[in-house]
Amino acid sequence: MSEESGRGSRFDRQMSPAEALMWNVEKDPWLNPSGASLSIIDGQVDGEVFERWLRSTVAALPRLRERVVPGFGRLERPSWQPDPEFDFDYHYRHLDLAEAADERALLDYVGLVFQEPYDRTRPLWQVTLIGGLDGDRSALLMKLHHSIADGYGMARMQERFMVRDPASPVPDPVDLDAVVARTCAEESVEGGGPGPAGRALELATAQARLTRRLLARAALTGADPSVLLDTAIGTAGSAEGYAKMLSSQLGSGQSDDDGGSAGSPMWTGRSRHRHLEILRVPLGDVRKAAKALDASVNDVFMTGLINGAVAHHDKRDQPAEAFNTSFVVSTRTDSAEGGNSFTPVRVRVPAGPMTTIDRLRAVQERVQQQRSAVHGGGLMGGLAGVVNLLPTSLTTSTARSQASKIDFATTNVRSTRSQLWVAGQRMTEVFAPGPVAGSAMIASVISYLDTMHITLTVDPAAVTEPGPLRADVEQAFAELLASA
C-alpha cells in the first residue's frame, strides 16, 4: 500500500485473484461487473473547472492511466501497466441532454452507458458531466470497472473532486501528456525482470510444484478427503470450515424444508440489458424504525425491499414462497482509495404471508447466520484463485448458472452525511447503480445527508415492470416506517 498526501491507496501492480476473476467474467456481457456513481448537482457545473479537478485526480491516481495486461499463462494473473496511448478526452465526456430533460431521460441515458462494455485495451473508467436537466440541475456519472475498486474504494477516489469546502481552490492545470510520458519512461527503466522465456520457465516451474503438491496430497485423501481441498484452495483455515462457507455462499444456505431452491416465478429471463429506477427514503425515519424494532438500518432496508417484491408478485397472482437473494460483506480493514475487499453471500428469505415484524426477524436471523459463515477474505478471497485456473468459458457458464438463481442482490455503500461540492456547485443527491451480473436485479443503497438513496438496477428481461416494482417498494417502505 502506498501513501500519497496522507491518503492510503490500494493499487497493487498485479490483480488480486478476486479482481482477476471479475476481469475474466466480463467477457460475458451478462456478467458485466461495472459499478457506477450518479450524483445530482444543484446548478450547472462549469465544464472547464471540473476538468481541472478531474485531470488533477487522474494525475494523482496512476490506476486511472493504466491498462490491463493479461498474464503469461493461466497461473499468472493480469497486471496493470501505464497506457502509453492514454487519451483523457476518451474517458471524460461533457454533454447536455435535451432541454430540461427529466429524471426518466437521465436514467435511460445512464442505463445505456452502464451496459456498454469497456475497451479492454484502455484504462477501465469513464466520467460524464451531464447538463441540461430540469430545475437547473446537472449530473455527474462515474463508471468504474470493479477490478479497480469496490464501492467504498470508489467513494474514496471521488473525494479528490467531491469536496466538503465549496471554496476549495481549483487545482493547477496538469499536463497529462507529460505525466504519461514520464510514467512510461520510469516503467521502462524499472521494469527489468525476466523476458518471455524466463517468465514461461517460472510459470512452468510453479505449475509443476503445484501439481506435485496436489498429487502428493491426493495419496492422503483416502484417509482424509479434506487435505486435498485444503491444499488446492489454499485457505488459511481448515478445509472443513471452508467447505461450510462454500456451501452457505454457493448454495442457498438454508435447508430444503423452506421450499427448495425455487425463487420468483416471474423473474426468470436474463439478458445484457439494464434499466434503472430510483427512490428516496428518509434516513432519519429509517434509523428511528431500526431502533424501535431492535434492528439495523440494513435489516430495515432488506425488509422493505422484500415486502415490496412480495406485493409486486401478489398483485399479479404469482406469489413466491421465498426469494433467493444475496448481500455483500465487506472484508476491508482500511480506508484506502481503490482496491476490493468484499465477498458476496447468498441468503434465502421467506416471501409467504407474514407480518412485517416476523419478516424482519426472519431476515435478521438468516442474514446473521450467513454472515457468520464468512471467514477471512470470504468466497472471493478463497475460491477466486482456483476458479481463475479454469477455462474462461467454463467460469462464465458456471457464473451464469449460479447468478440466474438470484432473484435480487443487495449492497449497502457507506457514504457521508456531510455536504459535498463539485466544482463549486452543491451536490444534492447520489445514487450507486450496481452490477446486475446475471441476477434479475440489484438494489443498492447509499446514504447521503438525510436520505437513503436506493437504486434498482434491473435486467428488463427478468423484471418486466420495473416502474410498478419501484412504486411497490416505495409503498412497502412507507408502510414499514409507519408501522414501526
CATH code of residue 471: 3.30.559.30
- Per-residue confidence (pLDDT) for residue 10, from 0 to 100: 77
Tell me: do 256 and 181 sit in the same domain: no
Cα–Cα distance for residue pair 474/452, rounded to 1 Å: 12
Give the pLDDT of residue 207. Answer: 52
| Domain-embedded: residue 132 | yes
More confident of the two residues 35 and 362: 362
CATH number at residue 186: 3.30.559.10
User: How high is the pLDDT of residue 174?
Assistant: 95
Report the C-alpha gap between 116 and 178 in whole angstroms. Answer: 30
Q: Residue 395: what pLDDT?
A: 80
User: Is position 213 within any domain?
Assistant: no
Hey, what amino acid is at 237?
G
- Residue 436 is predicted with a pLDDT of 93
Residue 172 belongs to some domain of the structure? yes
In terms of domains, do 35 and 164 share one?
Answer: yes
The answer to whether residue 254 is domain-embedded is: yes
Nearest by Cα to 249 from 59, 148, 129, 384: 384
- Cell 469546502 sits at which residue? 165
Phi/psi class of residue 44: alpha, beta or left (left: φ > 0; alpha: ψ in -120 to 50)? beta
Mean pLDDT (whole number) for 10-28: 87
Select from 190, 205, 230 the last residue of a domain: 190
Q: Flag whether pLDDT at 130 surpasses 60.
A: yes
pLDDT-based confidence at 261, cuts 50/70/90? low
Among 170, 190, 210, give the residue marking a domain's end. Answer: 190
108 pLDDT higher than 60: yes
The verdict on residue 230 lying in a domain is no
Categorize the per-residue pLDDT at 1 as very low, low, confident or very high, splitting at 50, 70 and 90.
very low
- Do 182 and 259 belong to one domain? no
**Which phi and psi angles does 218 have, rounded to 5°?**
-60, -30
Which strands make up the sheet holding 408-413, listed edge to edge? Answer: 275-282, 451-458, 441-448, 408-413, 322-330, 342-350
> Do residues 306 and 408 share a domain?
yes
- The string of pLDDT tens digits covering residues 136-179 is 999 999 999 999 999 888 999 999 999 999 999 999 999 999 99
pLDDT tops 80 at residue 260: no
pLDDT value of residue 323: 97
Give 402: exposed, middle or buried? Use CB within 10 Å, 0-12, 13-18, 19+. Answer: middle
Query: Does residue 9 sit in the same domain as residue 147?
Result: yes
Residue 183 lies in a domain: yes
- Position 382 in a domain: yes
Average pLDDT over every residue of 291-310:
96
Average pLDDT, the chain: 84
274 plus 365 within the same structural domain: yes
Q: Are residues 186 and 245 in the same domain?
A: no
Does position 358 have pLDDT exceeding 50, yes or no? yes
Residue range(s) defining the domain that contains residue 255: 239-418+438-483
- Confidence class for position 63, pLDDT limits 50, 70, 90: very high
Q: Are residues 366 and 257 in the same domain?
A: yes
Which carries the bigger pLDDT value, residue 67 or residue 331?
67
Percentage above 90 pLDDT, the chain: 60
Q: Is residue 430 part of a domain?
A: no
pLDDT at 226 over 90: no
Domain boundary residue among 190, 206, 222? 190
247 and 186 within one domain: no
State residue 290's pLDDT score: 96
Using the predicted structure, report yes or no on whether residue 381 has a pLDDT greater than 70.
no
User: Chain-centre distance of CA 279, in angstroms?
Assistant: 19
Kindly state whether residues 243 and 181 are assigned to the same domain.
no
Q: Are 146 and 44 found together in one domain?
A: yes
State whether 46 and 182 are in the same domain: yes
pLDDT at 114: 87
Instruction: Report pLDDT for 204.
Output: 52
> Domain total for the chain?
2
- Dihedral of CA 254/260/266/270: which sign? positive
pLDDT at 441 over 60: yes
